[in-house]
Amino acid sequence: MMKKGNILIKNAAELVTCSGFKGKKGKSMSDLHIISNGAVVIEEGVIKAVGKTEELLKQYKEEDYKVIDASNKAVLPGFVDSHTHFVFGGYRAEEFSWRLRGDSYMSIMERGGGILSSVRATAEASKEELLKSAIKRLDSMLSFGVTTVEGKSGYGLDYETEIKQLEVMKEADNHHPVDVVSTFMGAHAVLKDYKGREGAFIDFLIEKVMPEVTERKLAEFCDVFCEKNVFSIEDSRKLLTKAKEMGFKVKLHADEIVQLGGAELAAELGAVSADHLLQASDQGIKEMEKAGVVATLLPGTAFSLKEDFARARYMIDNNCAVALATDLNPGSCFTESIPLIFALATLYMGMTTEEAVTALTINGAAAVDKADKIGSIDIGKKGDIIILEFPSYKYIPYHIGVSTVEKVVKNGILVYNR
């Protein structure tokens, strides 16, 4: 486990607290609760005080802390990347070239590429190889200001490799500053042996794999690729209903390629989040809002696949809680770039900078059911903080595609400084 420290950050041009203990919906996503000339006190890794610098320095002695002077810099909560597949073997650069010439993602999957290509490579990789590459990716995420990341299995589809992926995530969580929230996603694709027998594959996961995952506490969430030619609404409902009975919290890859009713199913099941949602119906969005399901949008994937973006503006205007995430994976979106996500969200999805900040902080935390612990600069939360090289959060999308993060504090310890 990572150590916890004592830090005092003072003189922030903007202390962007994103204050709150649950996901923010609709118009409230624009309220960042900014304190000018702000300061934060962190003790034993936990935020102790937040306020104006002159006020906090009357109460706390600088000599008792490691002091960071954030003069002319913006200070924000650490980013939460709430949807990734960062543990995998192999790469699919050739498939990217196929897509550039016009081949569809689904057609590539049908001829043995896509997810099944990564399944083969991940099965062949040793646990040590997977951990080494996972740590390298976490290092990169940290440099972009990510302090918590969700990671999914799903490049196994069998007992051994699914468990191996989750074991790697657990070990990475224990040895890296970035916190890892693990999700079991054995239902990511259908093995050839089960083609046309998807229900039998769901039974296999429920009976053979998920009991081991729960017994060893290898994952907090269960996810499913609810999509045409992958897993139907009925199969997805069966899997996630059983997952809830076994103690998992649930998520869905929903309505990415066709309008299947995944958003409606997420609402029906009380999922923590429904992700992708490029084709989500008006009714599905309405039901998600009513059920309190976070809409996690992945603009990097739509961008990479040259698809229309999810309707972020419509969702926010209809009072949804919207989160943003990278969807880092070896196929449809090989990037962990938070600056790219900010640029796409603000330039092409109709989101304001304030909404994008909320989507990657407190709403990202809500998408992994941890808004009471991370995602904002509030007393009692983890001391996860980023310091920008510029005086305002508005520079994040303005400096297009380039990270503005200068320092990262995790649990009250300075873990990144460029």
Annotated binding site for N-formimidoyl-L-glutamate: 155, 329, 331
Annotated binding site: 83, 85, 92, 155, 188, 253, 256, 327, 329, 331-332
129: CB partners within 8 A, 6+ apart: 89
What length is written for the chain?
Answer: 418
Query: Beta 79-81 vs 74-77: how paired, if at all?
Result: unpaired
Question: Could you give the 3-state DSSP secondary structure of residue 207?
Answer: helix
Residues pairing with 52 in the sheet: 38
Q: How many CB atoms lie within 10 A of CB 40?
A: 28
359: CB partners within 8 A, 6+ apart: 29, 297, 322, 323, 324, 345, 351
- State the chain's maximal CA–CA distance in angstroms: 69
Tokens representing residue 39 in the block: 């300061």
Annotated binding site for Fe(3+): 83, 85, 253, 327
Report, in this order, helix, strand and coil percent for the chain, each rounded to 5: 40, 20, 40
Annotated binding site for 4-imidazolone-5-propanoate: 92, 155, 188, 256, 332
Annotated binding site for Zn(2+): 83, 85, 253, 327
Amino acid sitting at position 182: S
Q: What are the angstrom distances between the C-alpha of 186 and each of 38, 119, 198, 328, 385?
A: 45, 11, 12, 17, 33
- Containing 253, the helix (H) or strand (E) segment is strand 249-254
187: CB partners within 8 A, 6+ apart: 154, 201, 202, 205, 223, 224, 225, 231, 235, 236, 239
Question: Could you give the 3-state DSSP secondary structure of residue 274?
Answer: strand
